[in-house]
Amino acid sequence: MGNKVDSITRNELLTKLEQNMDAHLTSIHAPAGYGKTTLLTQHYELMQSKGYCCCWLTLDNIGGHPVQFLAYLAAAMEPTQLLPEDVARAAFNGFHGLDLNGAHNLVINLLSSFDASVYFFLDDYHYVASENQQHIVNKLIELTTENIHFIVTSREQTPELKGRLQISRPYF
């Protein structure tokens, strides 16, 4: 999310996202260059400015190992102040020593312990090529409580993800 660049604010899309922020899953898909990451960044910054707990994870080049993927997802929670110190340490060490089931249960139990709404911004989902990682994301969405929200961008439609709000290229 680096340097701030002047960009066009898509107020209509931001309003649509804000109106549907109670959705457990929001999927935004369009071809490369249509401004998905820019829209997601604007939405993220808007929600953070309003005091919501927001986590950001860009999914490009994160590797194919599912435990490492879960560690990245947990580490993305660190800025929210919701991540316990021992879990943060374990996540930043790649959940070393945990098998997939242990890491998955740790993340699910952690997310289930939150009373506040938490928003996960997952950018570039099309890079999640591994079926294991897709399965993990689906299980997280399926098993987490309604106060955990996933906002996902992808270059392709993601039929394996079942979102209530889907924004695709006709809006761009």
CATH code of 136's domain: 3.40.50.300
Does the pLDDT value for residue 84 go beyond 70? yes
Alpha-carbon span 19 to 157, nearest angstrom: 22
Nearest to 37 by CA among 49, 29, 25, 26: 29
**Residue range of the domain that includes 167:** 23-171
Residue 7 is predicted with a pLDDT of 66
Confidence of residue 151 (pLDDT cuts 50, 70, 90): very high
Across the chain, mean pLDDT equals: 85
- Is 13 domain-assigned? no
144-156 burial: b if 16+ Cβ within 10 Å, else e:
beebbbbbbbbbe
Indicate the pTM of the whole model. Answer: 0.85
- Is 108 domain-assigned? yes
- Is 119 domain-assigned? yes
Q: What is the pLDDT of residues 8-63, one digit of tens each?
A: 778 889 999 998 889 989 989 899 999 999 999 999 999 999 999 999 999 876 66
- Is 72 domain-assigned? yes
Which has the minimum average pLDDT: 26-30, 84-88, 168-172? Answer: 168-172
User: Which percentage of the chain shows pLDDT scores above 70?
Assistant: 85
- Is 57 domain-assigned? yes
Residue 172 is predicted with a pLDDT of 47
- Is 10 domain-assigned? no
Does the pLDDT value for residue 138 go beyond 90? no
- Is 113 domain-assigned? yes
- Is 44 domain-assigned? yes
Nearest to 121 by CA among 169, 54, 33: 54
* Domains identified in the chain, total number: 1
